[in-house]
A and B are shown apart, each in its own frame.
Chain A
Amino acid sequence: MQVFRYDKSFDGLLTAVFDAFNRKVFPEILIAEGDIEPLFATDIFDVVTDAEKSKRVWTGLKKKLMSVSRNMLGYVWLSEEEGSDMVIFRYIKKVFESQHSIEMNFADDDVLALRNIAKRVNTEKHRMVEFVRFQKAADNLYFAAIAPDTNCLPLITSHFKERFADQQWIIYDKGRNYGFHYDLKNITEVTFDNDLLFSEGRLDEQLMAEDEKLFQKMWKAYFKSLTIKERINPKLQRQHLPQRYWKYLTEMQS
């Protein structure tokens, strides 16, 4: 059984593709550095991430794939789902080996898997656009915490930059412990060492802007009044608004 070991970066994955075609040996399993080696590994090849090689693969993909499909590769990478790197690998292999475009052949397992995983990431991306809740801090910075299943945070920053161009904000992924800060000009990645300032994703009351509590209260009151009692349907609510997201939603906090 052929095994490739790489550094779990997207560039590393593309380098693996390059090396595989170069050596005419294709892995059945991809493992990360430090992973336990599979029992029946006959040959383990160590991929050395090489920006030049990965760029050449990407250029090749640009010639063969529509931009939608290339975006999908990125989405699947961000899914962080187990085995999704192998799906990307097999998909790229099929793309390069086929004379014709395979992008629409959804009867193919890998093409379908790629689409389905990308769809899940896309769904969560949209959910995050909906469910981000900013809290205004005293220094006029708007802060929001999220905890998505997939690593979709990088996908939503452009939306918030466009929409809230005139306010500083931070959106922070609590699960992955990193976030993005927009300072009215640029978006930069930030990491906080301790999360005491916003435990449970809530801003400490001392840090809050003066009117923040009032507007939170207003929003909660408004949200509560909006329910039509004759039509109560908690199942429908949870279908659209899964409970795992409630923690960071202002209107769901008591």
Chain B
Amino acid sequence: MQVVKEEVIDKLKILAESAKYDVSCSSSGTTRRSTPGGIGNTAGWGICHSFTEDGRCVSLLKIMLTNHCIYDCAYCINRRSNDLPRATFSVSELVELTIEFYRRNYIEGLFLSSGVVRNPDYTMERLVAVVRDLRNVHRFNGYIHLKTIPGASEHLVQQAGMYADRMSVNIEISKEENLKMLAPEKDHASVFKPMQFIQQGVLQSREERNKYKYAPRFVPAGQSTQMIVGATNETDKEILFTSASLYGRPSMKRVYYSGYIPVNSYDNRLPALKQPPLVRENRLYQADWLMRFYEFGVDEIVDDKYPMLDQEVDPKLAWALRHPEKFPVDINKADYHDILRVPGIGVKSAKLIVVSRRYARLKTTDLKKMGIVLKKAQYFITCNELSAAGVNETSPEYVRRLLTQPKVNSKNPHPAQTALIFPD
């Protein structure tokens, strides 16, 4: 029976608005096969279904169960003291919406979070009810990402983990004193406790599945978290060291960084920003990638001398410019791990180089044909031919200047010259 009616559209709008500031959207990390009588499956690699005007992907139905909240966190749009339209979905409305969207191939599954109503456990119970309904009643095999409510008790996290593919608790602010300043009702314990519960569940289920093949899975895609960047005075070093220690935990799959968007500009505990710090956010993601895929240690990326990431160049290039003694790298001889450290060469390119050089010595023309971009790499490699002026023949400062020069506008190569403008 259809429960979703025309008026649900307003709720949908309100609760999407409230949920959109959570950056996580991935639908990867686990597979679920389709079952007879069930709906859907999960692919294992993430599938994005659309991209909004801000260029972010839409993979899951990212939505809140309710945006009522008893907390008053300064960085959050849904804080108690904000005067904004509030709404609450019923369990059946949300379930039907998810399934109908899923059947039309709009989404990969559900990303459900909620404002805190009454108390953390009450809210968590409601969330569990939705995912339980989806999995048990409708036999939904799509992806489910469930936000854990900070302060929720262990047995509820345990229950939720049986249905969700991924769970997350957001740290939001990496220094506890800053978190307490902005969100007086929260502390780090309320965040790290549920994280611990999830981790325990994952490890326990892994152990059981080693013994019994059909033991139930628990949060098979692991957990993720999010930190807000630029709302408080943390340095990149502090943020990245927090991430590094989180990645050291067995179940932590992703840390997301969210450039602070001044949603509550009236609150003077928060900085007045004209624009969200998007470049800084991007550099943090690049640094995160270096840690996860490029075998960099966090202390190589940031340290006491360089507590902030270079905004002008990416962190890999910044590292290379600080360590010219590691270069040039010989493309035809060097170890895979060393090629991986060349600025501008990614994981795929490095692998391509290593397999191709078994057949013939590679020249720069070969690299170019393979689609490897040499703009940055040319200063840090030697090939089967005479090398151009590398970072050691010149100087790191010189290379930096070359790479950060503003691009010449091809339409107007002489900006000093007045152009005649004919508006359309």
State the A residues within 8 Å of B (CB): 102, 104-109, 112, 116, 126, 129-136, 142, 144, 159-160, 162-167, 211, 214-215, 217-219, 221-223, 225-237, 239-241, 249-251
Contact = CB atoms under 8 A, between A and B. Distances in A.
B147 to A, nearest CB: 17
A210 to B, nearest CB: 8
Given A159-B43, A237-B53, 4 more contacts: A106-B352, A214-B4, A231-B56, A236-B51
B100 A223 contact: no
Contacts of A105: 356, 358-360
B59 to A, nearest CB: 9
Nearest to B40: A163
A91 to B, nearest CB: 15
B41 to A, nearest CB: 5
Contacts of A162: 33-34, 41
Contacts of A229: 54
B51 A215 contact: no
Given A104-B358, A214-B6, A237 B105 contact: no
A223 B50 contact: yes
Contacts of B356: 104-107
A53 B79 CA distance: 72
A70 B167 CA distance: 39
16 contacts: A106-B370, A107-B359, A142-B104, A144-B105, A163-B34, A164-B105, A214-B4, A217-B9, A218-B4, A219-B101, A219-B104, A227-B52, A230-B261, A231-B56, A231-B278, A240-B48
Contacts of A106: 352, 355-356, 370
B333 interface: no
Interface string B262-285: 100000000000011010000000
A234 to B, nearest CB: 6
Contacts of A126: 47
Contacts of A107: 356, 359-360, 362, 366, 369-370
> Which secondary structure dominates chain A's binding surface?
helix
Contacts of A228: 20-21, 54, 56, 261
B8 A223 contact: no
Contacts of A164: 40, 103, 105
B407 to A, nearest CB: 15
B337 interface: no
Contacts of A133: 104-106
A215 B261 contact: no
Contact of A104 (B6, B261, B355): B355
Given A164-B103, A215-B100, A240-B57, A112 B40 contact: no
A44 B275 CA distance: 66
B9 A225 contact: no
B17 interface: yes
B399 interface: no
B52 A134 contact: no
B355 A130 contact: no
B162 interface: no
Contact of A223 (B47, B58, B371): B58
B318 interface: no
B55 interface: yes
Contact of B105 (A132, A165, A223): A132
Contacts of B53: 227, 232-234, 237
Contact of A219 (B56, B62, B106): B106
B97 interface: yes
Given A163-B40, A226-B20, A108 B359 contact: yes
A35 B41 CA distance: 46
B105 A226 contact: no
Contact of A218 (B12, B34, B43): B12
A227 to B, nearest CB: 5
Nearest to B278: A231
Nearest to A105: B359
A142 B362 CA distance: 51
Nearest to B17: A225
Given A104-B359, A228-B20, A231-B54, A166 B39 contact: yes
A45 to B, nearest CB: 32
A72 B390 CA distance: 38
Contacts of B292: none
Contact of A222 (B16, B21, B103, B355): B16
Interface string B370-406: 1100000000000000000000000000000000000
B305 to A, nearest CB: 32
